[in-house]
């Protein structure tokens, strides 16, 4: 009886902790807004996702912190740009946000 209980509890623990890898990761991009007009030679991309998750922005890689927050500053030239922001979990499930901006 005790062994069956331990097997059930152990299985529930494993399922609970592994279920999050099967879910598409969340991604919120707070900055910049889509359609933003900015000036300068650098842009800040700020947002939130799962803690310690790899974030890619147009191929540049960064990681979210322990709270899931990220802030990436990238050099940028004048003109129209498309920012392709992605996060991917350990089994390859991916979430993507696109921001279109104009740098003056």
| Contact between residue 36 and residue 22 where contact means Cβ atoms under 8 Å apart | no
6 pLDDT exceeds 60?
no
Structure tokens at 72: 């990436």
* % of the chain at pLDDT higher than 70: 79
pLDDT in tens, 48-71: 999 988 999 999 999 999 999 999
Residue 93 is predicted with a pLDDT of 86
Residue 89 is predicted with a pLDDT of 81
Looking at domain 2-103, which CATH architecture does it have?
A: Sandwich (2.60)
| Lowest-confidence region among 17-21, 51-55, 77-81 | 17-21
What are the extents of the domains in the chain?
Answer: 2-103
Residue 10 is predicted with a pLDDT of 56
């Amino acid at each position: 009886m005790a062994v069956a209980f331990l097997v059930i509890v152990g299985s529930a623990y494993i399922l609970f902790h592994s279920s999050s890898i099967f879910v598409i990761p969340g991604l919120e991009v707070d900055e910049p807004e889509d359609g933003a007009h900015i000036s300068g030679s650098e842009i800040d991309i700020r947002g939130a996702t799962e803690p310690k998750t790899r974030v890619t922005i147009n191929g540049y890689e960064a990681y979210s912190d322990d709270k899931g927050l990220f802030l990436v500053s990238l050099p940028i030239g004048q003109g129209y740009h498309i920012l392709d922001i992605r996060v991917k979990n350990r089994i390859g499930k991916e979430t993507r946000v696109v921001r279109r901006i104009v740098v003056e």
